[in-house]
Amino acid sequence: MDFKLSEEQELIRASAREFALEYIEPIAGELDEKSLYPYEVFAKLGELGMMGISYPAEYGGGGQSFITSMLVTEEIARACPATGFLHGYSYGLVGHPIITFANEEQKKKWLPGLASGKFVGAFSLTEPGAGTDVGAATTTAVKDGDVYILNGAKTFITNAIMADVFVAFAFTNKDAGPKGMSAFLIPKGTPGLVLGEHFDKMGIRASQTSEVLFKDCAVPADCLLGKEGDGFRIAMSALDAGRIGMAATTTVIAQACLDESVRYSKGRVQFKKPISSQQAIQWFIADMSTDIDAARFLYLYAAWVKDQGKSFSLAASKAKLFCSECAVKHTSKAVQIQGGYGYIKGSKAERLYRDAKITEIGEGTSEAQRMIIAGAALR
Ligand SMILES: Cc1cc2nc3c(=O)[nH]c(=O)nc-3n(C[C@H](O)[C@H](O)[C@H](O)COP(=O)(O)OP(=O)(O)OC[C@H]3O[C@@H](n4cnc5c(N)ncnc54)[C@H](O)[C@@H]3O)c2cc1C
């Protein structure tokens, strides 16, 4: 067993950290406050090859391992969790399903743009009546000559307002259950693809979240991703990859809490000594530090399993469950350590506290992860 990163990985991680400290951290508060999408950051990350770092080299990517991509996600998320979340999302929920299931023509059409950060993608699965229960979706795709006509509504779709491509899911045969769901790569501007409500959120406010409506949306048949009926499998595989990105993001949210807690507790004097000298505070810090190591090992293990070409679904669920609950627990402790100052808008602990919560909900709730993990244990 070797826990050491390669020299190349260390170098990539150091450049990602340098970039994040210079270009992301200084604007993280403003992105949150004004709910701004960091267009320029993603353009620069694209130029540096960090958007497509683990995309295959023949499609403009860096050809690096998934672990390396996750190290970059971590560094970005350390500076701004919302931006890190979007970095992980871009590969996991958009790049991964295209790399894994698309035909050659589709790969050539979408991957170089996604790898260079010029294209943005939106994974469009959730519906108003179908969240955890994906099979309850009602969006349909009816074949009519050389097009599919899509009708239905998707909700909570990240990136929808700026997406160039929608990885979207609809039933081509509702009677067949999950095996009747199909996936599509739908270009922006396709007639009948319209945006609905745009949502204001408590956290990860730099990400943009909206409804996507399909109103007699005529999608050319060559936009089908995989075969008819592959949709459920493609959606689950994308979510598995996305969950590892989410786990990387949450690990570093907890890390940011530790950094903040150490800094603040050493400087805050009560009863004539720094609060860091109180055992109660030290125990918070010890628990954070231990959980962060456990979280990092779990998510890197899941990424490693994926890099081995093995089934990584269970490892991804375990990592996502543990890491997100770790982040939620420790952001609360970080606010606690800062007392009233941690509760005031503008404090980093307050922003991290709000950012952490989505990680127990998005890309499958903690309860959904427990269903997957218990299902595997009981089989
Ligand atoms: C900011 C944000 C961004 C998002 N981005 C995207 C995106 O880009 N693309 C996309 O497709 N979706 C996206 N989502 C949707 C997200 O994946 C769903 O919100 C999530 O899967 C939960 O679905 P739901 O909100 O409908 O909750 P529900 O499924 O209604 O669940 C409500 C509660 O019931 C629990 N529950 C449900 N079923 C069970 C059960 N069988 N056993 C035990 N407990 C259960 C859940 O765990 C949860 O606690 C996003 C959501 C948010 C908030």
Can you tell me the distance from the alpha carbon of 190 to that of 185, in angstroms, rounded to the nearest whole number? 11
Q: What is the DSSP string of 118-134?
A: S--EEEE--BTTBSS-G
Catalytic residue annotation = 363
- Confidence (pTM): 0.96
Q: What is the CATH number of the domain that holds 111?
A: 1.10.540.10
Give the ligand 1 atom nearest the CA of 201.
1
Residues with CB under 6 A from ligand 1: 123-126, 131-132, 156-158, 201, 209, 358, 361-365, 367-368
| Residues 13-34, mean pLDDT to the nearest whole number | 97
Helices (H), the chain: 7-19, 28-34, 39-47, 66-79, 81-89, 96-101, 104-115, 231-267, 279-307, 313-337, 339-343, 348-357, 366-378
Using the Cα atoms of residue 99, residue 103, residue 106 and residue 107 in order, give the sign of their dihedral.
positive
**Number of structural domains found in the chain:** 3
| Residues 260-288, mean pLDDT to the nearest whole number | 98
Can you tell me the distance from the alpha carbon of 159 to that of 117, in angstroms, rounded to the nearest whole number? 13
Q: Quick one: pLDDT at residue 358?
A: 97
Domain termination residue (choose one: 119, 142, 173): 119
User: Are the C-beta atoms of 170 and 217 separated by less than 8 Å?
Assistant: no
Mean pLDDT rounded to a whole number for the chain: 97
β-sheet bridge partners, residue 102: none
The confidence band for 73, taking pLDDT boundaries of 50, 70 and 90, is very high
Structural domain span for residue 61: 7-119
CA of 128 to the centre of ligand 1 (A): 10
Other Cβ atoms within 10 Å of 232 Cβ, number: 22
Q: Mark whether 142 and 239 lie in a shared domain.
A: no
Residue nearest to atom 4 of ligand 1 (CA): 156
Phi, psi of 102 (to 5 degrees): -80, 160
Q: Mark whether 213 and 257 lie in a shared domain.
A: no
The confidence band for 2, taking pLDDT boundaries of 50, 70 and 90, is confident
CA of 57 to the centre of ligand 1 (A): 34
Q: What is the pLDDT of residues 302-331, one digit of tens each?
A: 999 999 999 999 999 999 999 999 999 999
Q: Mark whether 221 and 127 lie in a shared domain.
A: yes
Q: Mark whether 331 and 373 lie in a shared domain.
A: yes
CA of 133 to the centre of ligand 1 (A): 9
Q: Quick one: pLDDT at residue 1?
A: 81
